[in-house]
Chain A
Amino acid sequence: MSQNHAERQPAKRLFAAELNEADYHFKETDEDRAPNYLLLPSGDKANRVMMGGTLMSVEDVSNEGNDPFWKAVIQDRTGEFRAFAGKYSPEAASVLHGVKQDESMPPAYVIVIGKTREYRPEDDESEILINIQPETIAIVSEEQRNNFIKETAEHTINRLENETGEYVLQADERHGDRVSLLKNDVRESLGMLE
């Protein structure tokens, strides 16, 4: 593989509970363009994530006179997360703009693919929150949403079953017991599909 065709990083499937527990980004090399990874509490790393759920609200949070900056709140069975899309995420921004103009939405089922970003809320700088900078937001059917839950449950279980490796050790050290952290969330999500 030549350098200029760097492989696209896969999107790790996560439930909101896992994203909300995560709080640590890292790079593996010093190079400028080295990918940025989020340490997943289930014991893996993610440069890109794929998450799904119900779009609860869309709001333009830009200052007046600026390009719109959309804040989307998305909920799955395990929690809630936010995606922010402005001019640097034009495709996702145009989908959210479309939702804003469509009276039938929200709510809507969505799948979001993107990079993770961390920020510290102004009122509590000790806390690190992770949100999504989406590359893609797809409005999907209930069946697609259900497929996504099943796939995410399977991938999360696979990560939890894995007992060795660098990221398993790091996750254990940082987040404590991985299974107790996520077992109930995965079980409940699967329960929705029974």
Chain B
Amino acid sequence: MSNEQDTAQELAEKLYDDMDEGVLDVTVDELEAKFEQYIEYDVHPDSARSTIVRNLASEAGVEISEAMGGSTGSGGGSELVKIEDIDEPEVFVTVEVTVHDLWDDNDTDSISQVGIVNDDTGRIKFVSWEKSEVPILVEGQSYKLTSVATNEYKGRMSISLNSSTEVEMIDEEFEAPDNTKEFTGSFVHIYDGSGLIRRCPNDDCNRVLSGGDCTEHGDVDGVFDLRVRGVLDDGTDTQNVNFGCEITEALTGINLEEAKSMAQEALDTDVVGVEIAKVLLGNYFTVGGWVNDRDTLMVTEVDESTEVGEYSISELITKVDALEETTVNDESEAEEVTN
């Protein structure tokens, strides 16, 4: 490790300063003891800090954002940032955004609104908590959101509006950056969870079931679907791709009904994935679509007739014939490789 780690005492003092007074019932000494415990178990100070805050907030029955108030640790108001620069969880930032999309979320009582906002650098999920009593955001409208809390879940950032957030309408309209992409390469890998899958039947849920269960709705009667998650590789870069049912059917020649009877016959849904892997692996094509927030290309178009490479065979022969064999001379020997 390059920079020397802060001591438990320093970490505790910093956290204590950053917390809102009177929300969490804890002393600096208690914080220091908690930090010491985590550090002893080789927990990184940043995750120790977020775990301590999360546990305290949950004990006290408050949102993290409430406990951490509007303070940023530097003492002042939260900094105006661009969405693409949001990469640290549990800090307070100010953003200027347009509401891109609002999701229906009838299931969770504690959430008043959830959706996607964007500025001209990116998109990010936002959540408003019911008890924070923040104003309702309107799709297409732009706002300056002062002091929103950042969160991270499985590597994805989101922001939450909390009781200390100020919401102010602004006129500027932000256009989200283009997230469409094309990629050409060979299909080199297929991920588990490809082939015949079942999804949660609840409206707007659509989650892929695991062992017959939806992580949100528990034991449900799944709806069959076909999809492929895999990797395209052009020798220089790799791209995670997702094919939905239609694209999967078109590329593999296996439709959903056939997939279901294959699975029935084998008494196993995995056979479909195996069959799809056989058809797709080693194939070369160009795909187009949009990139989601996990950098996966959600494919909407496929060109299977893509010519491989940039040059024709005769051009390649010309190029290879033009390669000159060199004899090692003194000059190149002088340039020694430094290790």
**Do the two chains belong together in a single complex?**
yes
- Which of the 9-residue segments A79-87, A120-128, A175-183 touches chain B? A175-183
B228-244 interface bits toward A, Cβ cutoff 8 Å, 1 = contact, 0 = none: 00010111111010000
Shortest Cβ distance from A176 into B: residue = B328
Let me know if A150 and B238 touch, CB within 8 A: no
Could you tell me which residues of chain B, from 252 to 297, have a CB within 8 Å of some CB in chain A?
277-278, 281-284, 294-295
In the bound complex, residues from chain A placing their C-beta under 8 Å from that of B316 are 150, 153-154, 157, 190
> Using a Cβ cutoff of 8 Å, how many contacts connect chains A and B?
109
Interface residues of A in 67-125 (CB under 8 A from B): 91, 111, 113
Complex CA–CA separation, A160 to B237 (angstroms): 19
Are B325 and A177 neighbours in the complex by a CB distance under 8 Å? yes
How many B residues touch A, CB cutoff 8 Å?
Answer: 40
By a CB distance below 8 angstroms, the chain A residues around B308 are: 147-148, 150-151
* B237 adjacent to A2 (CB under 8 Å): no
Known: A150-B313, A166-B337, A169-B335. A140 touches B282 (CB 8 A): yes
Q: Would B313 and A194 count as touching, CB distance under 8 A?
A: yes
Partner of A179, one of B238, B310, B326: B326
Complex contacts, B237 vs chain A, CB 8 Å: 10
Q: Are B328 and A177 in contact (CB under 8 A)?
A: yes
Q: Convert A6-28 into 0s and 1s, putting 1 for each residue whose CB lies closer than 8 angstroms to a CB of B.
A: 01111111000000000000000
* Residues of chain A with a CB closer than 8 A to B311's CB: 154
> Which residue of chain A lies nearest to B324 when distances are taken between CB atoms in the complex?
A179
A14 to chain B, nearest CB (A): 10
Chain A residues with CB under 8 Å of B61's CB are none
Among candidates A1, A91, A138, A190, residue contacting B320 with C-beta atoms closer than 8 Å: A190
Cross-chain contact A187 with B321 (CB below 8 angstroms) = yes
Known: A113-B189, A135-B189, A151-B284. A183 touches B320 (CB 8 A): yes
Q: How far does the alpha carbon of A5 sit from the alpha carbon of B293 in the complex, in Å?
A: 12
Q: How far is the CA of A5 from the CA of B295 in the complex (A)?
A: 10
Find out whether the CB atom of B324 lies under 8 angstroms from the CB atom of A136: no
| A129 interface residue (CB < 8 Å to B) | no
Q: Which residues of B contact A180 (CB under 8 A)?
A: 325
Residues from chain A with Cβ under 8 Å of B282 in the complex? 111, 138, 140, 144, 148
CB atoms of A136 and B188 under 8 A apart:
yes
Q: Does B323 make an interface contact (CB < 8 A)?
A: yes
Minimum Cβ distance to chain B for residue A30 (Å):
13
* B337 contacts A50, C-beta separation under 8 Å: no
Would you mind naming 16 contact pairs between A and B with Cβ atoms under 8 Å apart?
A5-B295, A8-B189, A8-B231, A11-B186, A50-B233, A50-B235, A136-B281, A139-B278, A150-B316, A157-B320, A170-B337, A177-B326, A177-B328, A187-B321, A190-B313, A191-B317
